[in-house]
Chains A and B, each alone.
Chain A
């Protein structure tokens, strides 16, 4: 597995570069306990953010933002009941065995399934927030992660609409932007991030990205073999629009079901084209001005 090299990592760190660290969030074993949300808040002193009662299943924390760096999504799906469906008995039994083997997350038999997933900043290989930051407050750490320097950020807000995942946001009373740091302070002390440590089912796995990729491929293969044919890895590959992520996921349905974009893109890839258009428009304006001034009577 490649480590998905970024623009600044490992190159600019020389021999001080550490292996690229990340999260593999295996949503197939998430039980929706929200321990990650709580642990993150506690460790990082993330302020309270009460959204009220949403009625969106068990999710009352709604979304990632300046005051929520881990967010657990709850999806309730009605799925056709395997056994009453017209499937061969052996296949139905195999699926039952899959449930016994611990590779199925929903209550068998009631035609209903829960999907739960803990979302987090993706620490993209090509990070749009970092690319557009005009102050250099956002930077790439020696672990390949993306972190905001709170003493530099001036709250211009450019990173907010630049993020294709809607992760980073401004804290209103403070003015600056905030997001997951992948517990940069804990990493420096060789500790795992608070959310991963708190996760009771190992749904959040922390480690060297290359090793996590290997683990994830095996897990996906097992789930596929067990009949979870909609299981997929999300952001695990370098050829997607963000060059792969430092925090990638195993999902049991399409990304948009979890509120994740199916094809996120770092618009930096188009920045040449954007500057060319802006330059051409500037020249056109110049030509228009010359025509207006010299193209008739004084």
Chain B
């Protein structure tokens, strides 16, 4: 890679102003979304023990999510402005509506699962919560992919799969940890299958990112990525070997897998900051795309004028005199 030009090494992009609440929300939002699906489907299969716990996890995770999001706002008292409009060009706007719908449906479904209240509304709320949960798990990837940050935007086709499988992983892991092993087989299958899927989606993302993926190889982006992989592999191994027979093992495996899913969100979050902060990650790929003729670029040296009237004093009008 050739040395790229910069202005005194200054960043071209601004780093996001988001704080720790945002990657936490990526985790809790995904966990809630996938847990709702797990709960609804388990109910259909007749596994009420698992379903009730999954509803509780889904409700807990979606209950804390708005707190994270509102606390991150620069003007928290204006959080309702998020619902002033519905705007498809803004995944954050669409996501605010998904989160609202999901929150309402999940609350009703979970309340009904534990208390039996509102049976008629809950009948509609249960499938609604399960359905809302799916985009709730992946829209956050669309949100960060729709920015100028190269490591996020260039991963726009694969990032939602990383987030979606990560959501399944966290939901399966935590629900398996809180459910008696005899009833938790679907959660264990979900956790292990999603761990595999997340690993593959991650590999594919890094492969497709190519030169854009460099921020994942250094700093916090790399550190969290290593932690995530170690926790996920260890957690999946424990879950696979002992998760069905031992409650403590299932709890330990669930904690490890949950930590793996959380670290994966942090890795992606931090890599974005690193990608925005270094001008070489922004300018370099843009310049090379121009040089390869794939992009027109934003500047032009040839003037779009016919005949130019020479200005007074310009070399075109004045005869050139050689200095003595």
Contact = CB atoms under 8 A, between A and B. Distances in A.
A281 B7 contact: no
B280 to A, nearest CB: 10
Contacts of A169: 14, 17
Interface residues of A, number: 114
Nearest to A257: B5
A167 B13 CA distance: 8
B298 A65 contact: no
Contacts, number: 352
Contacts of B282: 261
B272 interface: yes
A133 B90 contact: yes
Interface string A261-298: 11111011011011101111111111011111111111
Given A160-B16, A164-B148, A275 B88 contact: yes
A234 interface: yes
Contacts of B92: 132, 134, 156, 158
Given A161-B272, A258-B7, A263-B298, A281 B314 contact: no
B7 A267 contact: no
A208 interface: no
A96 B323 contact: yes
B278 to A, nearest CB: 12
A224 interface: yes
A284 B161 contact: yes
B1 interface: no
Contacts of A242: 298
Given A261-B282, A288-B193, A221 B303 contact: yes
A62 B194 CA distance: 46
A225 B13 contact: no
A94 interface: yes
A103 B141 CA distance: 49
Contacts of B120: none
Interface stretch (B75-83, B227-235, B255-263): B75-83
Contact of A259 (B12, B41, B44, B298): B12
A229 B301 contact: yes
A285 B138 contact: yes
A256 B6 contact: yes
Interface string B273-316: 00010010011001101100001111111111100101101111
Interface in B163-221: 163-165, 167-168, 172, 185-187, 189-190, 193-194, 197
A161 B165 contact: no
B6 A259 contact: yes
Contacts of A258: 7
B100 interface: no
Given A262-B283, A290-B41, A135 B85 contact: yes
A282 B93 CA distance: 18
Interface stretch (A21-29, A42-50, A147-155, A199-207): A147-155
Contacts of B242: none
A158 B318 contact: no
Nearest to B41: A293
B250 interface: no
Contacts of A63: 10-11
B157 interface: yes
A255 interface: yes
Contacts of A298: 45-47, 185-186
Interface string B1-37: 0001111101111111110000000000000011001
A275 B320 contact: no
Contacts of B304: 217
A222 to B, nearest CB: 6
Interface string A243-254: 000000001001
B75 A154 contact: yes
Given A292-B186, A297-B185, A166 B303 contact: no
A162 B88 contact: no
Closest 9 CB pairs of A and B: A155-B74, A175-B74, A259-B7, A281-B160, A154-B78, A292-B190, A221-B303, A134-B93, A282-B134
11 contacts: A158-B147, A176-B74, A220-B303, A222-B311, A229-B301, A232-B299, A236-B300, A273-B157, A278-B91, A278-B142, A298-B47
Interface of A: 54, 56-57, 59, 62-63, 65, 73, 75, 89-90, 93-94, 96-98, 100-103, 128, 131-137, 152-158, 160-171, 174-177, 217-218, 220-222, 224-227, 229-237, 239-242, 251, 254-265, 267-268, 270-271, 273-275, 277-286, 288-298
Given A166-B276, A235-B299, 16 more contacts: A132-B90, A132-B146, A134-B92, A134-B93, A154-B81, A157-B74, A158-B92, A161-B15, A234-B299, A240-B297, A259-B8, A280-B161, A282-B134, A282-B164, A285-B138, A288-B193
